[in-house]
Amino acid sequence: MGQVTAVDVSFASNGGRRAGRLYRPEGSHPAPCVVMCAGFGSTADRLSGWAEVFAAAGLAAMVFDYGSFGRSDGDPRQVVDIDGQLADVRAAVACARADSAVDADRVVLWGNSLGGAHAITVAADDPRIAAVVAQIPFNGFPRRVEGRSTAQSLRLTAAILRDALRGRLGLTPHYIPLVGEPGEIAITNAAEAKEHISTLAGGDSLWRNQVAPRATLRMMRCRPADAAARLTVPLLVCLAADDAETPQELSSQLAERAPRGRLKVYPGTHFSFYTDPRTRQAVASDQIAFIREALALP
């Protein structure tokens, strides 16, 4: 494992500036680069640990904040704009390719949760992308979320519709927590919510447990599996066996539909990819091996 140099980068997208950070490995340049797409309501700093692991293995890695999140421009804050985020991913890829430390023809798209869907969608229309890694990727909402009652689902739906209406009227968002304990109105509910929040919000994190839920209406129309079927490059899908948020029966379809898809399943839940060091180590090792194979690296 070699030394890693991190430099701040910025690029224009969707009428504003997007902030990012490029992790450069030591040694000869240009190097293959992994452009990393964060999940729903997440920020670039939450991916820095993954980026450092890739860079230490000899791969450049770039993280960035979507518009209205983290260090990027955009008001109102904490609003997930699906089409805007796809534009941000494309702009991030262009930024990485323009860097002298990056091999522009060996760029890999990597995405976590909703970012996994973004990575597949963008790669399907960019023939220069060399490979895709989708980690606990979104591929539609399950019909029923384990542990969420009908009454709770109705309250969440009411909050989503209220926020969507406020957005149409140009009013401030109606925010709800991104992660909540069972019974709370939140995008995601989990028994380990406190542990997950503590992990994401620790230190100097820019992550906020707050999001405008209106984007879930747009997500209902997302079809990442259709994009996966158009992929011409290798795709690795990494899932958790007991994931209630991006369940295996839905997300595995991405690997099944992709002509060169590959699936790996790990013990644990959706949150194991954030909080369990053993899971993260095993997943990172498999992803690095997959990228090396896909790019024919020694």
Q: Which of 110, 85, 88 is nearest to 32 (CA)?
A: 110
DSSP for 12-62 reads: EETTEEEEEEEEEESSSSSEEEEEEE--TT--GGGGHHHHHHHHHTT-EEE
- Quick one: which of 295, 298, 287, 293 has its CA closest to 105? 295
159 is written with which tokens?
Answer: 């909050």
pLDDT at position 181 is 87
Q: How far apart are CA 103 and CA 264, in angstroms?
A: 27
Q: What is the pLDDT of residues 245-296, one digit of tens each?
A: 899 999 999 999 999 999 999 999 998 998 899 999 999 999 999 999 999 9
* Mean pLDDT value across residues 10-26: 96
Q: Which pairing describes strands 102-112 and 60-64: parallel, antiparallel, or unpaired?
A: unpaired
Nearest to 135 by CA among 292, 279, 20: 279
pLDDT at 1 over 60: no
- CATH numbers and ranges of domains, the chain: 4-143+220-294 (3.40.50.1820)
Helix (H, G, I), strand (E, B) or coil at 94: helix
Taking the C-alpha atoms of residue 59 and residue 109, their distance in angstroms, rounded to an integer, is 12
d(CA 249, CA 253) in angstroms, rounded, equals: 7
Task: State the number of CA atoms in the 13 A half-sphere of 50 facing the CB.
Answer: 31
What percentage of the chain reaches a pLDDT higher than 70? 99
More confident residue, 260 or 143: 260
Q: Are 256 and 175 in contact (CB under 8 A)?
A: no
pTM of the model: 0.96
Residue range 134-142: mean pLDDT, rounded: 95
Q: What is the per-residue pLDDT across 183-234, written as a single tens digit (0 to 9) for each?
A: 899 998 877 777 778 878 877 899 999 999 999 999 999 999 999 999 999 9
Summarised one tens digit per residue, pLDDT across range 27-67 is 878 999 999 999 999 999 999 999 999 999 999 999 999 99
Whole-number pLDDT of residue 147: 63
Ranking 161-165, 234-238, 276-280 by mean pLDDT, the lowest is 276-280
Nearest C-alpha neighbor of 92 from the set 147, 39, 165, 38: 38
Indicate the SS3 state at residue 111: strand
If one compares 22 and 194, the residue with the highest pLDDT of the two is: 22
When the pLDDT of each residue in the chain is averaged and rounded to a whole number, the result is 94
Residues 93-99 have a mean pLDDT of 98
Closest CA to 62 of 7, 117, 105, 113: 7
